Amino acid sequence: MSEEERSYDVVVLGAGSTGENVADVVVRGGLSAVLVEPELVGGECSYWACMPSKALLRGTEVLAEVRSVDGAKQAVTGEQDVEATLARRDSFTSNWDDSGQAEWVGSAGIDLLRGTGRLDGERTVVVTDADGGTVRLTARQAVVVCTGSEASTPPIDGLADVGAWTPREATSAKAAPARLLVLGGGYVGCEMATAWQALGSQVTVLQRGGRLLPGLEPQAGEAVAAALRDAGADVRLNTSVTGARRDGTEVVLTTEDGREFRGDEVLVAVGRRARTADIGADTVGLEPGEYLSVDSTLRVEGSSWLYGVGDVNGRRQLTHMGKYQARQAGAAIVARARGEETDTAPWSPFVATADDVATPSVVFTSPQVASVGRTAAQAEEEGLAHRVVEYPIGSIAGASLFADGYSGTAIAVVDTQREVLLGVTFVGPAVAELLHAATIAVVGEVPIGRLWHAVPAYPTISEIWLRLLEAYRG
Amino acid sequence: MSEEERSYDVVVLGAGSTGENVADVVVRGGLSAVLVEPELVGGECSYWACMPSKALLRGTEVLAEVRSVDGAKQAVTGEQDVEATLARRDSFTSNWDDSGQAEWVGSAGIDLLRGTGRLDGERTVVVTDADGGTVRLTARQAVVVCTGSEASTPPIDGLADVGAWTPREATSAKAAPARLLVLGGGYVGCEMATAWQALGSQVTVLQRGGRLLPGLEPQAGEAVAAALRDAGADVRLNTSVTGARRDGTEVVLTTEDGREFRGDEVLVAVGRRARTADIGADTVGLEPGEYLSVDSTLRVEGSSWLYGVGDVNGRRQLTHMGKYQARQAGAAIVARARGEETDTAPWSPFVATADDVATPSVVFTSPQVASVGRTAAQAEEEGLAHRVVEYPIGSIAGASLFADGYSGTAIAVVDTQREVLLGVTFVGPAVAELLHAATIAVVGEVPIGRLWHAVPAYPTISEIWLRLLEAYRG
């Protein structure tokens, strides 16, 4: 079988949301592009992460909300229909069928090649399909690696042999296991613990460190741990799992200090690693399995034509940041193809400045945790002159109208030299949509003095902004 | 009975939220202050407006949300408990008891005089209590009129004699009338129609003009009219009521073209007028019953000591804007008392710039309407170079996760010369908390180019921001 050869301006490895966005931007910019994908078009986010996890969580969230409003709660006399919730989750993943997204790719003027793409020296990618056929692609302008990341398995004795769930199985499971062990208390572990505990599992979270959600403000992990326990889950901090085995149908985890935890399934959610083991990294002088080291335009250090965008560069492993990087890198590729200057000053259209100073994230637990920018600890580490202010969201009129007994916290980290916000964290029910105000304030570097003129509408929960400003003024 | 005489730095007429905030700010600034109030401390917002209206609406809102999430909706087999909702409303008004707020006034170091305050020439207020006793107050620095506004009755034959509801009765009613006529389709009429239709009334809205919520983007009134009709209300546009009478226990409204509408109660919500008829305005050369004309620091034009803050100046009749004006005017009074310069440039700490260009408002109907800044029509009127972009919120992943069949619209008005936002409107379920992001963008004059770096977290409804930016780029 002779090898087909094709050339494009841009070859994109990986058709997750990041790859789709890179291809879309460069095609809109007049370049030709092909997406290479061995699995489902749409990637982790569409099928095994954001979409199914949020669909699993939404019913629980809204039922908690209605149960906290006297007068409305009397209408709730039944329980969540778990079958229907799982079916709704299935609909959000299109039943793991990517034909809709593949159709979008075509309509956007992007070519799609199904198969595994591997670099084969400069500007070259060889795609091998399921039948072993190959296509050799030449990229006139750029090869963009958007292969993302995958769950990593920690070096725990026996863990590789117990059939542990990765986040993929946790988001796509067809039924709630009776007992679910969750190894890891980061955002995936916390979200899945929240979801499955509500959907019928008895969940045990085993976290090696002293708190859940360790990268965020400590109040976040504390609130989520308390809420998980209130919901009936068992949350064990400072618990170091050192062994795993199957005992009949049971999975058994053993800890450093000799305790045992038994479940029907175990979800391993202790981190991710770059999906670069099988992309031909060595043919261009890179180390397989390592994150791609990129500059602010997401171009691989030292290369003129290779980019690493999204999870694969290890900067910020979030769907929305992958898409953001895709827009910035795409703009840079188009400008460079036209021979135009690409301004690499902070906040230019070609650089991903927000990666460094204004990355938003929402953990869809109950309570939710929404944060952007630096935590107090990060500001401290970076040696920035700052002051931290905190205010209970439950004392805001809009919050008490929203839910009887609303409990939550807002934390702002203020740069005391520049008088701008470095970061903001909200912990509480339904805080997800409060976040973008903070993101705009951080990104826009809006001075505190000006923020006083940004009046929150009464009585919304957003009035927390006024209290934070008052707390900062002292 | 001899007249008591007292002097303060600042005398505040009216202890609604605006007056409370003026007094608080000046006392924090080291001045002495007295609040004069003939009714309840806390004012309209606490007892007959924001708080009770939102409490009446919240149960309906959250039940609609849960009913739009498959899996969760199966738990809702009953109906809203109207008695419990009314009791919850009562708790938010503290059963119309102001002792809690009066206590706060004392704890804030503010004196409280219960009685009617009337100006009696320069820097002088005479307070008459319920027993006819008087106190003569002298204000060394300022008299601040925060008497607010009251519902106005339109000149319709017989309307004054039918015992019509004002917004006060509509928010404090002890039971849903079987049939409620609502005269006026502004935000009060729309909110109360939404509330009482859901709580058991058959509501008919009679609106003289061609749309509901006439000051907002037309899509807002259209969506609210459609939703009210879906809920079973009768919405009549272009309907000019010219007569009213009682017929037994029924109230009958007659229109210009001879039609009749019958109900058990009628709410008149066609506008407000300044509460300045009985404040001794004539003793300082002002016209009783008129709004106070003020400068950007909220000081009455031509006066060195008289301020008009909140509804009473007719600028923006919203609780949060009254409180904002209170902060700005309070700061100006303190600075002037210290002999300091008060910068009156836009966005200074002493002026209410947001009144003119960045007033946020939320209408808590179903769907909600949240808007800030200028509408397209206002930008047009002011001759500003602008472009309007619109995007359906329901196509955002976060919105479809939030509710099956989510329907809503976002509209942004962009200044094409300065490349900043002039105004934003969101129409849809639960958009209230989306608004503050827009308010910060408008107030902060954050350039569109920078807003591209404000990444909305996926999958939140806030991703509408990305779509609006894309729509603007074209």
Alpha carbon distance A106, A35 (integer Å): 10
Adjacent-strand bridge partners of A211: none
Domain boundary, last residue among A307, A326, A354: A354
Handedness of CA A297, A300, A304, A309 (dihedral sign): negative
List of chain B residues whose C-beta atoms are within 8 Å of the C-beta of residue A353: 453
- What SS3 state is found at A77? coil
Residues B141 and B118 in one domain: yes
Residues A138 and A279 in one domain: yes
Residues B198 and B115 in one domain: no
Tell me the two tokens of residue B275. Answer: 């509460």
Total domains, chain B: 3
Residue A362 counted as domain residue: no
Alpha carbon distance A304, A306 (integer Å): 6
Residue B2: which pLDDT band, with cuts at 50, 70 and 90? low
Residue B120 counted as domain residue: yes
Residues A433 and A378 in one domain: yes
Q: Decide if the complex's ipTM is over 0.85.
A: yes
Residues A226 and A282 in one domain: no
Listed residue (A196, A212, A204, A355) closest to A270, CA to CA: A212
Q: Residue A312's CB: how many other CB atoms inside 10 A?
A: 31
Residue B52 counted as domain residue: no
Residues A10 and A126 in one domain: yes
Domain boundary, last residue among B354, B389, B407: B354
Residue A185 counted as domain residue: yes
Residue B286 has a pLDDT of 97
Q: Which one of A171, A334, A455 would you mutate to disrupt binding with B, by most B Cβ within 10 Å of its Cβ?
A: A455
Residues A382 and A348 in one domain: no
Order of strands across the sheet that contains B360-363? B360-363, B368-373, B420-428, B409-415, B386-392
Residues A144 and A257 in one domain: no
Asked whether the beta carbons of A190 and A222 are under 8 A apart, the reply is no
Taking an 8 Å cut-off on Cβ atoms, the answer to whether B92 and A454 are in contact is no
Residue B421 counted as domain residue: yes
Distance from CA of A314 to the nearest CA of B (A): 18
Spell out the per-residue pLDDT of chain A, length 474, in tens: 568 999 999 999 999 999 999 999 999 999 999 999 999 999 999 999 999 999 999 999 999 999 999 999 999 999 999 999 999 999 999 999 999 999 999 999 999 999 999 999 999 999 999 999 999 999 999 999 999 999 999 999 999 999 999 999 999 999 999 999 999 999 999 999 999 999 999 999 999 999 999 999 999 999 999 999 999 999 999 999 999 999 999 999 999 999 999 999 999 999 999 999 999 999 999 999 999 999 999 999 999 999 999 999 999 999 999 999 999 999 999 999 999 999 999 999 999 999 999 999 999 999 999 999 999 999 999 999 999 999 999 999 999 999 999 999 999 999 999 999 999 999 999 999 999 999 999 999 999 999 999 999 999 999 999 999 999 998
Residue B93 counted as domain residue: no
Domain boundary, last residue among B321, B354, B387: B354
Residues A35 and A136 in one domain: yes
Residue B3 has a pLDDT of 81
The CATH number given to whatever domain includes residue B460 is: 3.30.390.30
Taking an 8 Å cut-off on Cβ atoms, the answer to whether A347 and B320 are in contact is no
List of chain A residues whose C-beta atoms are within 8 Å of the C-beta of residue B404: 88
The CATH number given to whatever domain includes residue B180 is: 3.50.50.60
Residues A172 and A137 in one domain: no
Residues B431 and B336 in one domain: no
Q: Tell me which residue range forms the domain holding A13.
A: 4-42+98-150+273-354
Residue A208 has a pLDDT of 96
- Using CA atoms, how far residue B302 sits from B117, B295, B331, B344, in Å, is 22, 9, 19, 16
pTM: 0.98
Residue B63 counted as domain residue: no
Alpha carbon distance B5, B25 (integer Å): 24
Residues A141 and A10 in one domain: yes
Residue A73 counted as domain residue: no
Distance from CA of A253 to the nearest CA of B (A): 33
A455 vs B51, B72, B354: nearest CB = B354
Asked whether the beta carbons of B26 and B334 are under 8 A apart, the reply is yes
Q: Which one of B440, B451, B461, B470 would you mutate to disrupt binding with A, by most A Cβ within 10 Å of its Cβ?
A: B440
Q: What is the CA radius of gyration of chain B?
A: 24
Q: Which residues of A428-443 are buried (b: 16+ CB within 10 A; e: fewer)?
A: bbbbbbbbbbbbbbbb
Taking an 8 Å cut-off on Cβ atoms, the answer to whether B462 and A65 are in contact is no
